[in-house]
Structure 1
Amino acid sequence: MSSGPSSGLRRFFSCFSARSSGGVAGDTASDSDVDVPHGGEDIISGLPDDVLSSIVSLLPIKEAARTAVLSSRWRRLWASSPLVLDDTDLLLNNPRHVAAVTATVSAAMRAHPGPFHSVSLTCYFSDAEKHVLRRWIRVLAARGAQELVLNNIPWAGLDLLPRALLECRSLQRLRISDWRFPDTSGAPVLAQGAAALPRLRELVLGRTIIQEEDLDRVLASSPRLKTLVFVLSSGVPAQVRLRSRSLRCVVFWHSEAEELTVVAGPLLERIIIQTSSLSCGSGSDGNRMRIKISSASVLQALGFLNPNYHELQIGDTVIKVGKKVVPEAVVPSVKILALSVQLGVRSKARMVSCFLQCFPNIETLHVRSIPDRGANSKNGNSEFWKNEIDSVECVKGSINKVVIHGFRWENCEIEFLKSVLEGGKVLQKIYILEDKSISVSEGGVNGTQSLLASLSNGVELMILAGQDYGIWTYEVASDLSRNDPFDCQN
């Protein structure tokens, strides 16, 4: 989605000084209304139309519409450029006059003939004014909107999205926040099994309530959908069943469900789960999110799996400590695995080898070290980790890169790395991302580095200061152009 104009574009626009304060493209002005800067030399107007159209499309709606009052040429350029509309600037400039903002948005939509490239709207209507949103969405559908963001201010009183949203057949990217998704059972197109959203490639549901059957219908009616993202969503839907011939990536970003099941995902490459300490309940066995992989033959990246919050089931086998992994519970296609583990808590740490045994061809392993509030994490146990890692084939035969996130130089972390260095036959790189909130003596760090270096046998060791949590966003995680969705360093 458009992230807003740069300061350079704002400086560009300041070259103009429209005598009229007109706010929408329907206002009129003569060609002589342009104040030409720099001693009368009109440099800007000498640019080709396609360059000027690109510039206008990147301006905030208020400033873009102002160009239309400069001259007939600018009016033509604004109307001929795909509309990019974001009402954020309007709201920030008129926080107490939302009616004026609504009128400006409505006027811009009326004045522009389309197509609409990207539209971002913040809805602040009461239930009595829901007709305004319905009208906007119908205009978006009629004018071929490609990208749409719908943010809601729920305390205004309107929380249910209009069903007209399902008529926006031109949409390629849709992001909605703080809404209840419309009931799809009565939508004629969905009921007939046709493609209601035939071009949709990305769907982001932020704090949005969607019923299980509605999500099923949306997946079934979006034949080009590649990316599905849940952001800050809690328990609705309780079960997410992925049945899609096009889906390549699903993300749970600080979101929870009782169960995520890959029913049929012939193209599904990535399952990304970012879990905070506040999500997924208490972490007890009866309150964990079950991740069931039934059919995902090309799955390449999975994580962060956390034994506190997640239960992994492959086929009919639930992965548990002490339970032998059978051939039917192996996913050979996974190349990148990410784990969040309390390495100092033996009952949790043992799940590392359990998970690793399910993915025999891992090439990159990410481990987020979770601190244990007790004293266990201070203690290392070399024999424990040696026994755990020695039994894992992928450590010996396929893992060539290990990344430790949130490293605090504690003995349990050091012993884990030692076991990987000693057991990894094809290991090439270890990246250590330090926890910036802790303080460790220089002597302790140097001593550990020397110890690890003595075991490295040519393995590249790289220590990077600071955590990467702040720059790992759901946009980064869901970016299919990135080779490793968990890597924020490239």
Structure 2
Amino acid sequence: MAPESSQPAKKRRTYRCRRCGFPKKGHVCAAAAAAPGDLPLLPSPEEEEKVDGISALPDDVVHTIISLLPTMGGAKTQVLSSRWLPLWRSAPLNLDDAEIPDLWEDFLLNVITEIITDHRGPTWRLSITKLARVNEFRGDLVATLDDLLRSGTLDGLEELRFHYRPNMTAPDPLPPAATRFSCLRVASFGFCSFPGAGVLGGVAFPNLQELTLLAITNSEDTLHAMISACPVLRSLLLRDNDAFRRVRISSPTLVSLGLCSRTSDMEELIIDNTPSLERLLMFRSSDKLPRVVSVFSAPKLEVLGCLSDGISDEHYGVVVWPQQLRVNSMAMLRTVKILAFRIEENSLDATVHILRCFPCVQKLHITLAEGLFVPDIHNGLVDDAAAIECLDLHLKEIVVRNYRGQKSHAAFAKFFVLNASVLKVMTFRACVRLSKKWLSNQRRLLRLREKASPNARFEFSCDGYFMDYYYNHSQRSHQLSVGDPFDD
């Protein structure tokens, strides 16, 4: 018998009648008797390939497509056809200077000004991040940028990102016109200082839902004024605002609050009157976060992290050292479903206490710090595990980062293997090479055959050393559709 061919059989082409569209083989066209001009001929396959379906769309739809393209991609649509030539200049403008090819600052400002001045349509998004306040040839650009932002083309602006190029010498004032846009839905201000309190008092952003403040040199009073000016604010991200000392967050509409900093200058963060808050996200290690976090009113809080170990009870609630988390009552922590924390010392004391403080948690992200000590696993804590509600009823998923597999790490992880009764999956993000011998040894050390949950899966993946949740993760403060902001 001849061997079967390994090459797939070629698909036979079907020829169709150009009048009625039916296959020609064995076909008698019912339209053959019709007058020659009564029925239109169907286009041939070659003609179908030449059909431009996008150009046949209404102008409003094409405008939307162009406005969603990157800046240079939208501009290049002018060369596609004569019909597309005027569309970019009248479509809603999406202008991002980071997408413009590298130019000297002087030329870049000229290009931005020319695009905005010549554009005949509205502007829905503007991002300026590559300009310094002081230009080598033009000097101080604050007045020039202020005039640019007062252009009528920008009146309906919906998204604004205005960041000066970082300058470590002196505060760079934000052009006053940057706060004039009442239609803004998304705003990000960076490496600048807002006008004085008297000017900011008249600012209003009735439609702003997403706000980022990066390296603002004003005090926390400016932040409080900004929050008051945003009645429908849903997500707020504060990054590297070293002048903020005692911050109070009060917003009935805020859903997500993110903090990210390279320093530890913030003394206290107070969460008050936030009935809609679902996420309190603190990126970076605990010694770079507020010394005290006081939560007085957050009845819907479901996602919290990244905390540190070393928790102890006190009369006002919970204290996390060196970072203190204060709540009115322990009952407030029952709403937390996703929790991320960092273990500085590989001790079950701290871990078990965290689990008791958050009895309804369903998913844990645990980061093991470098240079951990062997845990004291013979202190009776394992015997008391039955008193931990989340282990018995709620905890379904665990992610362990920086897992190396030595006996101390395995003993720590084994606590969850033997006591999490409803666990579905436990993922070990190991920072070592995974070999068959290593994996076999881990299954033995972790005692996976004695798992408390019969349906639990245990997965190992090779990963680099995980330092901290930082800028890449901090952007998820605004991604409300992402279920777990601590996932990679």
- In which range does the TM-score fall when normalised by the shorter chain? 0.7 to 0.9
Q: Could you list the per-position Cα deviations for residues 360-391 of structure 1 after superposition, in whole angstroms to 9, with x for gaps in the alignment?
A: 21111221111226xx24x6635465157454
Structure 1 residue 452, shift from structure 2 partner: 3.3
Q: Could you tell me whether the CA contact under 8 Å between 1:405 and 1:433 is conserved in 2?
A: yes
Alignment of 1:160-175 (within 5 A): 160-175=173-188
Amino acid of the residue matched to residue 268 of structure 2? E
Q: What 5-or-longer segments of structure 1 have no aligned partner?
A: 1-40, 191-195, 281-287
Structure 1 residue 402, shift from structure 2 partner: 1.7
Q: Equivalent of 1:410, from 406, 413, 427?
A: 406
Q: Could you list the per-position Cα deviations for residues 97-133 of structure 1 after superposition, in whole angstroms to 9, with x for gaps in the alignment?
A: 3222212211211222442121111222326321111
Which residue of 2 is the match for residue 131 of structure 1? Answer: 143
Q: Equivalent of 1:393, from 378, 389, 394?
A: 389
Which residue of 1 is the match for residue 352 of structure 2? Answer: 353
Once residues 135 and 116 of structure 1 are traced to their aligned partners in structure 2, the CA distance between those partners, rounded to angstroms, is 16
State the SS of the aligned residue for 2:475: helix
Structure 1 residue 424, shift from structure 2 partner: 2.2
Q: Equivalent of 1:453, from 448, 455, 461?
A: 448
Amino acid of the residue matched to residue 335 of structure 1? K
Once residues 142 and 177 of structure 2 are traced to their aligned partners in structure 1, the CA distance between those partners, rounded to angstroms, is 12
Alignment of 1:190-269 (within 5 A): 190=203, 196-231=204-239, 233-254=240-261, 256=264, 257-269=266-278
Provide TM-score, normalisation by structure 2: 0.76
Q: 1:88 to 1:80 in 2, by over 3 A?
A: same
Q: 1:445 to 1:234 in 2, by over 3 A?
A: farther
Structure 1 residue 430, shift from structure 2 partner: 1.5
Corresponding residue pairs, total: 421
Q: 1:356 to 1:479 in 2, by over 3 A?
A: same
Structure 1 residue 140, shift from structure 2 partner: 7.2
Which residue of 2 is the match for residue 184 of structure 1? Answer: 197
Amino acid of the residue matched to residue 369 of structure 2? I
Structure 1 residue 355, shift from structure 2 partner: 2.7
CA RMSD of aligned residues (A): 3.5
Q: Which segment drifts farther, 474-483 or 464-473?
A: 464-473
Once residues 318 and 81 of structure 2 are traced to their aligned partners in structure 1, the CA distance between those partners, rounded to angstroms, is 69
Q: Which segment drifts farther, 456-465 or 384-393?
A: 384-393
1:465 aligns with 2:446: no
State the SS of the aligned residue for 2:462: coil
Amino acid of the residue matched to residue 452 of structure 1? R
Structure 1 residue 235, shift from structure 2 partner: 3.0
Provide TM-score, normalisation by structure 1: 0.75
Q: 1:46 to 1:439 in 2, by over 3 A?
A: closer
1:275 aligns with 2:284: yes
Q: Which segment drifts farther, 389-398 or 478-487?
A: 389-398
Q: Could you list the per-position Cα deviations for residues 137-156 of structure 1 after superposition, in whole angstroms to 9, with x for gaps in the alignment?
A: 22378521111111211449
Q: Equivalent of 1:433, from 411, 421, 429?
A: 429
1:151 aligns with 2:160: no
Q: What 5-or-longer segments of structure 2 have no aligned partner?
A: 1-49
Once residues 162 and 420 of structure 2 are traced to their aligned partners in structure 1, the CA distance between those partners, rounded to angstroms, is 48
Q: 1:167 to 1:314 in 2, by over 3 A?
A: farther
State the SS of the aligned residue for 2:270: strand
Q: 1:243 to 1:162 in 2, by over 3 A?
A: same
Which residue of 2 is the match for residue 487 of structure 1? Answer: 487
Amino acid of the residue matched to residue 416 of structure 2? V
Once residues 388 and 178 of structure 1 are traced to their aligned partners in structure 2, the CA distance between those partners, rounded to angstroms, is 51
Which residue of 1 is the match for residue 437 of structure 2? Answer: 443
Structure 1 residue 240, shift from structure 2 partner: 2.0
Q: 1:235 to 1:88 in 2, by over 3 A?
A: closer
Amino acid of the residue matched to residue 441 of structure 2? G
Q: 1:370 to 1:108 in 2, by over 3 A?
A: same
Structure 1 residue 298, shift from structure 2 partner: 0.5
Structure 1 residue 178, shift from structure 2 partner: 1.8
State the SS of the aligned residue for 2:236: strand
Q: 1:141 to 1:398 in 2, by over 3 A?
A: farther
Q: 1:70 to 1:338 in 2, by over 3 A?
A: closer
Once residues 330 and 433 of structure 2 are traced to their aligned partners in structure 1, the CA distance between those partners, rounded to angstroms, is 42
Which residue of 1 is the match for residue 33 of structure 2? Answer: none
Which residue of 2 is the match for residue 366 of structure 1? Answer: 365
Q: 1:487 to 1:98 in 2, by over 3 A?
A: closer
1:79 aligns with 2:89: yes
Which residue of 2 is the match for residue 26 of structure 1? Answer: none
Amino acid of the residue matched to residue 147 of structure 1? E
Alignment of 1:258-337 (within 5 A): 258-276=267-285, 279-280=288-289, 289-307=291-309, 316-319=316-319, 328-331=329-332, 332-337=334-339
Once residues 71 and 424 of structure 1 are traced to their aligned partners in structure 2, the CA distance between those partners, rounded to angstroms, is 63
Once residues 236 and 157 of structure 1 are traced to their aligned partners in structure 2, the CA distance between those partners, rounded to angstroms, is 13
Amino acid of the residue matched to residue 259 of structure 1? E
Structure 1 residue 239, shift from structure 2 partner: 2.0
Q: Could you tell me whether the CA contact under 8 Å between 2:142 and 2:174 is conserved in 1?
A: no
- Bigger helix share: 1
Once residues 394 and 45 of structure 1 are traced to their aligned partners in structure 2, the CA distance between those partners, rounded to angstroms, is 54
Once residues 326 and 62 of structure 1 are traced to their aligned partners in structure 2, the CA distance between those partners, rounded to angstroms, is 50
Structure 1 residue 134, shift from structure 2 partner: 0.9
Q: Equivalent of 1:57, from 51, 56, 67?
A: 67
Amino acid of the residue matched to residue 443 of structure 1? K
Once residues 93 and 46 of structure 1 are traced to their aligned partners in structure 2, the CA distance between those partners, rounded to angstroms, is 32
Q: Which segment drifts farther, 60-69 or 123-132?
A: 60-69
Q: Could you tell me whether the CA contact under 8 Å between 1:250 and 1:272 is conserved in 2?
A: yes
Radius of gyration: which is bigger?
2
Amino acid of the residue matched to residue 428 of structure 1? K
Structure 1 residue 60, shift from structure 2 partner: 4.7
Q: Could you tell me whether the CA contact under 8 Å between 2:257 and 2:477 is conserved in 1?
A: no
